[in-house]
Amino acid sequence: MSGHSKWATIKRKKAANDAARGKIFTKLIKEITIAARDGGGDPEGNPRLRLAIMNAKANNMPQENITRAIKKGTGELEGVKYEEINYEAYAPHGAAVIIECVTDNRNRTVAELRHLISKHHGNMGETGSVNWMFERKGVILVTKDNHTEDEIMEAILDAGVEDLKDESEFFEVITSVENFEKVRKAIEGNKYKIENASLQYVAKNPLKLDDKCTAEVMKFIEVIEDHDDVQNVYTNVEF
């Protein structure tokens, strides 16, 4: 699990240092649109939308972009019809990968991903080929701000937290899907700053590789994540 938040930190630094913010906004807008489409445009009654809006604001997305995405999801504004699809693959060195996509053209997406994966020394897997290696978990990154691990744990213990790790700049909080919203509210209620919160695929048994192999897997993931239809990429590699 710990490698997962390290990868998230790497991605945030990359976004801060290059021209990736436009792509990040596109991914966030897609998530807001789908959340509003599936659960309605009121964030108070739609936990997925509430979470998407929180993450959009954490990335400094203007309110007008958020509002427009919600209206496209609810049909108040005309918008693209998106479909959510997960693909499974193997990166170099046998690393397992789950790729979350949002697309308006399934055939285009799978063809382009198959080409990218093959070109960068991976293999597209069949449905279920790597999914069994992962569990769906809530992952919340809490900014330290001079707080101690014991302080955070005391605030969220009764909410059903499964694990808490010190990850350099952040505390990584792991929850079950069922307790995710309860733990998130407990963190917010105690005035701790949430850097990011999401439901993720977390490896049951992380794969440890040497530095050279790990770097090659990271490069593979970066290439896949850069595809316009890819929302998230998860791997079992321990970074």
pLDDT (tens digit per residue) in 14-48: 555 545 678 889 999 999 999 999 999 999 999 99
Query: Rounded to an integer, what distance in angstroms lies between the CA atom of residue 146 and that of residue 90?
Result: 40
User: Over 70: is that where the pLDDT of 181 sits?
Assistant: yes
Q: What is the pLDDT of residues 143-152, one digit of tens each?
A: 988 888 898 8
Residue-range domains of the chain with CATH? 2-74 (1.10.10.200), 83-132+209-235 (3.30.70.980), 133-203 (3.30.70.980)
| Model confidence at 2: pLDDT above 50 | no
- Using the CB atoms, write b or e for 102-116: b if 16+ within 10 Å: bbeeeeebbebbeeb
Three-state secondary structure call for residue 148: coil
Give 85's contacts (C-beta < 8 A, 6+ positions apart). Answer: 101, 102, 103, 106, 109, 110
Instruction: Share the mean pLDDT of the chain.
Output: 89
The backbone torsions φ and ψ at residue 202, rounded to the nearest 5 degrees and listed phi first, read -110, 130
